[in-house]
């Protein structure tokens, strides 16, 4: 049987976990990475550089680096963070991505070139080709308020209602849209719901590409609420946030033993074909033991087993 083609959307540690899982069974892997980060080294670079934030792209490439001694050495070097002088706090990989972008004139090409250096066989693509800011509306005791900047959204002091990008309709690479249209499976999450998953889906062209698919859209639910961003969120709240942003999901994968649990409260469960459960929002619910030893991160091997079974039965 042909190995499935898989697209993974997100950013940060969550996307790295997903990629660790899908590379175990997929024939072709494409990562679509959020580039709205404005904190740390990426934020400092964006103060004078008009390109996309490189931090999550760098993390993604490093998580996919080959196991050879040379690739491991380059991964260690590119993950190096300066501890003194004018470059203190900067990651070398971020600086290399910026320099490659300047030389080639194309951030996507820069990402591909750095991937070749690391022996990455998957495609790693930025969600947008230009700089974007993540904006959010929060529900505060004084009423609704808006903030701009991923770092501020991450540490939101009040519940986040919705997010969007500024500019509102940034260009998405054509390769991203083609990959989403042609993949056997598209995996969203786990990871920061608003600042990683929805930061990618907030690109209008990417959201339309997801809407135009006939199926195969899988949301991997987080195992625990994220303080400051999804505090108090259960699985129902995750699905409701996706629906509120018009992000279609066919299947939601949950671990019932965690604090996030399964969709069983506000949206309820309905009987689906073949005895499968479905949320009232329409997503088929697949449950399994997915947590790693710390209980906060998914075990990539466990997640791969579930995702592979879904891909082969789609």
- d(Cα 109, Cα 123) in Å, to the nearest integer? 11
Q: Mean pLDDT lowest for which of 29-33, 69-73, 89-93, 261-265?
A: 261-265
- Reported as a single tens digit per residue, the pLDDT across 114-140 is 999 999 999 999 999 889 999 999 888
* Farthest-apart Cα atoms in the chain, separation: 63
Which among 259, 234, 249 is positioned nearest to 281, based on CA atoms? 249
Rg (CA), the chain: 19
- 188: pLDDT strictly greater than 80: yes
How far CA 31 is from CA of 9, 102, 215, 272, 280, in Å, comes to: 6, 22, 18, 31, 30
**Confidence band (pLDDT; 50, 70, 90) for 183?**
very high
Tell me, what's the pLDDT at 296? 80
Whether residue 277 is predicted with pLDDT greater than 60 in this model: the reply is: no
What backbone phi and psi angles, to 5 degrees, belong to 83?
A: -115, 0
Higher pLDDT among residues 170 and 262, named by residue: 170
Q: What does the pLDDT read at residue 267?
A: 38
Checking if the pLDDT of 252 tops 50, the result is yes
Cβ within 8 Å of residue 308, ≥6 positions away: 4, 24, 25
For the beta carbon of residue 99, count every other beta carbon within 10 angstroms: 11
pTM of this structure: 0.91
């Amino acid at each position: 049987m042909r190995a499935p083609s898989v697209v993974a959307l997100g950013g940060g540690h969550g996307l790295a976990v997903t990629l660790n899982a899908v590379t175990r069974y997929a024939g072709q892997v494409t990562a679509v990475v959020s580039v709205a980060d404005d904190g740390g080294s990426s934020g400092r670079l964006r103060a004078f550089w008009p390109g996309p934030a490189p931090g999550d792209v760098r993390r993604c490439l490093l998580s996919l680096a080959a196991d050879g001694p040379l690739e491991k050495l380059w991964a260690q070097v590119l993950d190096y963070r300066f501890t003194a002088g004018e470059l203190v706090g900067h990651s070398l990989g971020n600086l290399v991505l910026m320099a490659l972008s300047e030389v080639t004139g194309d951030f996507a090409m820069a990402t591909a070139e750095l991937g070749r250096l690391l022996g990455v066989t998957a495609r790693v693509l930025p969600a947008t080709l230009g700089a974007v800011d993540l904006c959010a509306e929060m529900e505060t005791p004084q009423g609704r308020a808006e903030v701009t900047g991923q770092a501020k959204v991450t540490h939101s002091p009040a519940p986040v209602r919705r997010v969007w990008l500024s500019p509102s309709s940034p260009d998405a690479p054509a390769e991203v849209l083609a990959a989403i249209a042609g993949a056997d499976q598209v995996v969203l999450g786990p990871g920061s719901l608003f600042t990683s998953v929805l930061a990618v889906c907030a690109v209008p062209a990417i959201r339309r590409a997801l809407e135009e698919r006939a199926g195969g859209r899988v949301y991997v639910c987080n195992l625990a609420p994220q303080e400051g961003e999804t505090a108090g969120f259960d699985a129902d709240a995750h699905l409701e946030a996706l629906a509120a942003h018009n992000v279609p999901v066919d299947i939601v994968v949950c671990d019932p033993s965690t604090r996030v649990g399964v969709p069983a409260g506000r949206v309820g469960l309905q009987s689906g074909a073949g005895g499968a459960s479905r949320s009232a929002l329409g997503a088929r619910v697949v449950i399994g033991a997915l947590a790693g030893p710390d209980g906060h991160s998914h075990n990539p091997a466990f997640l791969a087993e579930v995702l592979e079974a879904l891909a082969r039965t789609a």
